[in-house]
Copies of this chain bind each other. A is one copy, B any other.
Amino acid sequence: MWKDLGLNLEAHDQLMAVLGRAYKDIYMSQENRPKAMQYLDFVISEVHGLRVKELIDDKQKGNKVFGTFCVYVPEELILAAGGTCVGLCAGAEIGIDEAEKVLPRNTCALIKSFMGFKLAGLCPYIQASDLVVGETTCDGKKKAYEILNDYKETYVMEIPQMKTERDRTLWRGEIIQFKEKVEKLTGRKITAENLKEGIKIANEKRRALQRLSALRKAVPSPISGLDGLLVNQIAFYDDPPRFTRQINALCDELEERVKNGIGVTKNGTPRILVSGSPMAVPNWKIPFIIETSGAIVVAEESCVGERSTRDLVDENGKSLEKMIDAIVDRYFKIDCACFTQNEERTGHIVELAKDFKVNGVVHYSIQFCTPYTVEAYKVEKALQEKGIPFLKIETDYGMEDVGQLKSRIEAFLEMVKR
């Protein structure tokens, strides 16, 4: 199977060994983890194993796989047509030499990573994908997809940059066109019936993740930020109904913890909101540093986090038309930094900070991620007005700056404790 996928097997084995060690060091060393996290541990151990086999088996039944990098891709339409939506590998410093042959060195780590994974033949998900679905959320991705398309068919959705009625019209057109693309690729018509089912599956997943997020409001939090992030990361890979069941089981366990006042930290542990650029597997750098410095991350204001789960698609639409409108509306609400002005986001961060009773906000941007790096200025201003401590971090996937980041984060935590 692996050979058929065109993977570079030797390098892939090395990668898996490194990933396994990192996971052991970062995840398995945590104390007092919820039992239900065992499922997530299993999924990670099989992230380039059983899950890929499932996709291949599914493809053999005639189903199609859509590889994505962004929360704007409407999973409902893919599910409706019996397809599977998977997040592609983009969270490790892999194939950088290859990536830098086609991309400028000063490109964000996430983009270099997905290009590197593809060029080095190390991502089974992109190999298994029938189509990569990109989007125009940032200059880096928008232009990199043109190059990725030389190696793997990449369909790009245009994301508007403002939220006027004109933009909604553009976005609606993009959704309709994507629906047609999905229908063509899968050979299946999207109907009110199967779309209703697709909407339900995606919403159920979001509801489970919303439930998890709400449980993290408890003081003490019943789950670590690393584990919370992991759940959000695996949401992009796993089979949606199974994942939903497992996360609900996790939430049942966490509810018990909350009821009994059990948490993963002692009283007085600083609670941190991490906000900014997405963190793809295995990018655990910032929460790991925060949580080994005596604090806990209680929420991720990020695409790999509550931005992708906050809003549901309205389920009251009876006709295909109404359902599509509901999808258009749901995705149009996302407050990505690609929009201008994007005051919804700064306002929302302030709200989250209050709701989650955080002691401070760590704004993370991947180096060279212009939208989030520039928007950090407005976020800082909004938080300053409310007296909420703020730390801005800009980093890549390398480990060279870990010591320096740890010092900065420790100093920040000292400050927020006062």
Contacts and interface: CB of A to CB of B under 8 A. Distances in A.
Interface of A: 102-104, 106-107, 136, 138-140, 142-147, 156, 158, 160-162, 164, 166-167, 169-170, 173-174, 337-338, 340-342, 367-368, 370-371, 373-378, 394
Contacts of A102: 377
Contacts of A340: 136, 142-143, 145-146, 156
A173 to B, nearest CB: 4
A140 B374 contact: yes
A98 to B, nearest CB: 13
Which one of A103, A370, A394 has the highest number of Cβ atoms from chain B below 10 Å of its Cβ? A370
A310 B339 CA distance: 31
State the number of copies, please. Answer: 2
B170 A371 contact: no
Contact of A167 (B107, B170, B373, B394): B170
Nearest to A101: B377
A340 to B, nearest CB: 5
Contact of A139 (B103, B164, B370): B370
B374 A147 contact: yes
Contacts of A138: 139, 370
B143 A371 contact: yes
B158 A374 contact: no
Contacts of A158: 160-162, 164, 166-167
Given A136-B161, A368-B368, A143 B337 contact: yes
B375 A143 contact: yes
Contacts of A140: 139, 370, 374
17 contacts: A104-B376, A106-B106, A106-B368, A136-B340, A139-B140, A140-B374, A142-B161, A142-B340, A142-B371, A143-B375, A145-B340, A146-B378, A147-B374, A158-B160, A160-B170, A166-B170, A368-B368
